[in-house]
Amino acid sequence: AQSVTQLDSHVSVSEGTPVLLRCNYSSSYSPSLFWYVQHPNKGLQLLLKYTSAATLVKGINGFEAEFKKSETSFHLTKPSAHMSDAAEYFCVVNNFGNEKLTFGTGTRLTIIP
């Protein structure tokens, strides 16, 4: 079985300050984990992925995430928020060999000028 929990439905940060979006997962096997971003009225765009290589994964637009097996977490971070980061972010888990991916319910990120 696989599941994912995004711990915050809404996060607000000031421009130029760090971003932390939290994700915990449950998986019976070594999972693949992904973060997607969705801007208003757009489809989902892949930010980064973890597939059992390096535990610190770098993505696009300065985002990165760290896979911590002991904590079953895959939190998304960015050192300095930009106005263009305002969007909804989805954490996704997939067990190897499972055709279906499981999505979190999303975290809406608001950037305060």
The least CB distance from residue 45 to other proteins, in Å, is: 7
The least CB distance from residue 41 to other proteins, in Å, is: 8
Residues in contact with other proteins by the rule CB under 8 A: 9, 32, 34, 36, 41-46, 49, 51, 90, 92, 94, 96-97, 99-101, 103-106
The least CB distance from residue 40 to other proteins, in Å, is: 11
**Burial state string for 26-49 with b = 16 or more CB within 10 A and e = fewer than 16:** ebeeebbbbbbbeeeeeeeeebbb
CA distance linking residue 33 with residue 4, whole number of Å: 10
